[in-house]
Amino acid sequence: MADRLVPLEGAFNFRDLGGYPASGGQVTRWGTLFRSDTLHELSASDVDRLRAMGLATVVDLRTPRELEQTGRGPLGREPVGYHHLSVLGHGPGREAAGEAMAAPEGDDLSERYLWYLEVGAEALAGALTILGEPANYPLVFHCAAGKDRTGVLAALVLDLVGVAPEVIVADYLITGERMELILGRYRSDPAFEARMASVPPSRFSVQASTMERFLDVLHQRFGGAGAWATGAGVAPSSIERLRTTLLEPAGAAC
């Protein structure tokens, strides 16, 4: 995990999705696609590191309210492409109203993730379309903790390129090792601390069974990420370019 994690001062869950075995004896390409928690607290040295990595694009999955509260942070001053694609709403206040009406009852996170495929279909499909453009890389997508919305998009991408379910689950579980740092940041922010008190503690858990069930239903109900994506409006050509960009023969980077 140490090689996968990009050590930053202002983000605790920024990591590389390279090196995962995929279909056809290929692997996901290192240094190309990253997932992260929020980026608004990056330090100057963090920005220098990301600049040296050639970061070209940020896909922000947070709500309009989250973006308004914290802003984009120092990357907002960098020549980096930026796409705000809220999984939980597309206008001021809409995410709260939509969640109140449509969010699944109970504490089952896998049900919440499946709900994202409905309420956030436009945003997730938009993100996959952006990932289908080679010029947008290196690219990072993120939400607040880099766990739920980010975890669903990561699962879709990895499933699209043929990464095995158990590997996708293992990638999801890495966030559990970062959660105490992420929750510490939440507790230091009065706005986030109040939100934490209003949701079930299980919302902050990272369990293998959550992602296992999400992937099971993704395949049983939709036929996998590829079928879901085309049904949500992602062009087959975008999916093919995504696969071509993110995959390389095993051992090619050695």
H helix count then E strand count, the chain: 12, 7
How far CA 84 is from CA of 62, 64, 161, 194, 217, in Å, comes to: 7, 8, 24, 24, 27
Cis peptide upstream of residue 92 (ω within 30 degrees of 0): no
How far CA 118 is from CA of 122, 230, 241, in Å, comes to: 9, 14, 24
Q: Pick from 96, 83, 157: which is nearest to 123 by CA?
A: 83
| Catalytic position from the list 59, 143, 158, 242 | 143
Provide CB contacts within 8 A for 2, sequence distance 6+: none
Q: Strand (E) positions, 17-70? A: 26-28, 33-36, 57-60
Active site residue 143: yes
**Distance from C-alpha of 204 to C-alpha of 180, rounded to nearest angstrom:** 10
* Straight-line distance from the first to the last Cα atom of the chain, in angstroms, rounded to the nearest whole number: 18
Yes or no: say if 50 and 77 are a contact pair by the CB < 8 Å rule.
no
Which amino acid makes up residue 150?
T
Q: Which residues are catalytic?
A: 143
